[in-house]
Amino acid sequence: MNTIKIILGDITKADVDAIVNAANSVMLGGGGVDGAIHRAAGPKLLEACKKVKAINGERCPAGEARITEAGNLKAKYVIHTVGPRYGIDTPSETLLASAYRSSLDLAISHACKSIAFPAISCGVYGYPPEEAAGIAVSICQRPEYESLAIIFYLFSEKMTAVWMKAVYGSPVLAKSPVPI
Ligand code: AR6
């Protein structure tokens, strides 16, 4: 059985080998969790992002992932992935699954033992949380990711309950912070 934990809290505090960022395709920072990760990591992260090869200004298309150093974060790496803008980047389900898979594959290929995910695409990109959680959890439960400790950092009680239901099948309400 794969190790999947859920925490209600700020992903920038995660003590893991790799923190996943819900970035945009330009990969030079933004709002939401992207902004929080860049603020906590400091300017080294932006410098590392600038070194990632860009094609027509785009460093990471939707559904793909890129890895950089993590600046001042506790983590060794930041894995930047771009989820779909719901209903705009299509098929959204395939692209969201691919964002999770690409991130997990990069973690494995860089010998990571632990990885923290936010709810990719569930903020300004508008993905319905229940659908997103189902996709996220089904990818993370695949046997090829058994060696990774996977932690989801959710930012509200509502989102935490949605993820708990996807992992455990019951809508247990979480209190902050809740390592399960
Ligand atoms: N820790 C954990 N989760 C967080 C944090 C945090 N510190 N801050 C926000 N969240 P979003 P997206 C949650 O909008 O939908 C950016 O501008 C948030 O409540 O950050 O993939 C990028 O540059 C929500 O549940 O990412 C892109 O342009 C989840 O993280 C765009 O937003 C994702 O919300 C990507 O949009």
Q: Which position has the token pair 């990774």?
A: 148
Containing domain of residue 49, as a range? 3-168
Prediction pTM value:
0.95
112 C-alpha to center of ligand 1: Å?
Answer: 23
Q: State mean pLDDT over 131-160.
A: 98
Distance CA 105, CA 28 (A): 22
Q: For strand 18-22 and strand 65-69, is the pairing parallel, antiparallel, or unpaired?
A: unpaired
Catalytic annotation on 15?
A: no
Q: Which residues line ligand 1 (CB under 6 A)?
A: 10-12, 22-24, 30-34, 36, 83, 118-125, 153, 155, 159
- Domain assignment present for residue 37? The answer is yes
Element at 97 (helix H, strand E): helix 92-109
DSSP assignment letter at 86: T
Catalytic residue among 17, 34, 89, 105: 34
Q: Is 126 a domain residue? A: yes
**Cα 169 to ligand 1 centre (Å):** 25
Name residues whose C-beta falls within 8 Å of residue 2's C-beta, 6 or more positions apart in sequence.
140, 141, 142, 143, 145, 146, 148, 150
Say which CATH number the domain at 66 has.
3.40.220.10
Using one digit for the tens of pLDDT, what is the confidence trace for 86-108? 999 999 999 999 999 999 999 99
Describe the crossing of helices 129-140 and 92-109 by its angle, rounded to 10 degrees. 40
Tell me whether residue 174 is in a domain. no
User: Which pLDDT band, with edges at 50, 70 and 90, does 174 fall under?
Assistant: very low
Distance CA 140, CA 148 (A): 9
Ligand 1 centroid to residue 104 C-alpha, Å: 18
